[in-house]
Amino acid sequence: MLTEVEETIEAIRPALQADGGDIVLRSVDELTGIVTVTLTGACVSCPASTQTLKAGVERIMRDRVDGVTEVVAIDA
């Protein structure tokens, strides 16, 4: 699961970087399916970052990686 999550983040990363942000993988809990990330750059102060995380990153991650239940952002 970890490799699939890493590959999915690499696929998502260019879209975030195009807007001045980025995403860093912090952990993958294979038992609960929770992926923990940190949004950086412009994503930190962007009011739409929660929407980006849930409607964008989480949706893509759940579609591409079996077992992912949620993506949660934490501070660096």
In the chain, where are the structural domains located? 2-73
pTM of the model: 0.90
Which pLDDT belongs to residue 54?
86
Superfamily of domain 2-73: Fe-S cluster assembly (FSCA) (3.30.300.130)
Band (pLDDT 50/70/90 cuts) for residue 69 is: very high
Tokens of 14: 């260019």
Whether the pLDDT of residue 47 is over 90: the answer is: no
The larger pLDDT score, comparing residue 76 to residue 25, is at 25
Sign of the alpha-carbon torsion through 56, 23, 73, 50 = negative
pLDDT at 75 over 90: no
Comparing 28-32, 42-46, 61-65, the range with the smallest average pLDDT is 42-46
Distances (CA, A) of 7 to 22, 25, 42, 44: 15, 11, 22, 23
Tell me which residue of 15, 70, 71, 19 sits closest to 45, measured CA to CA.
19
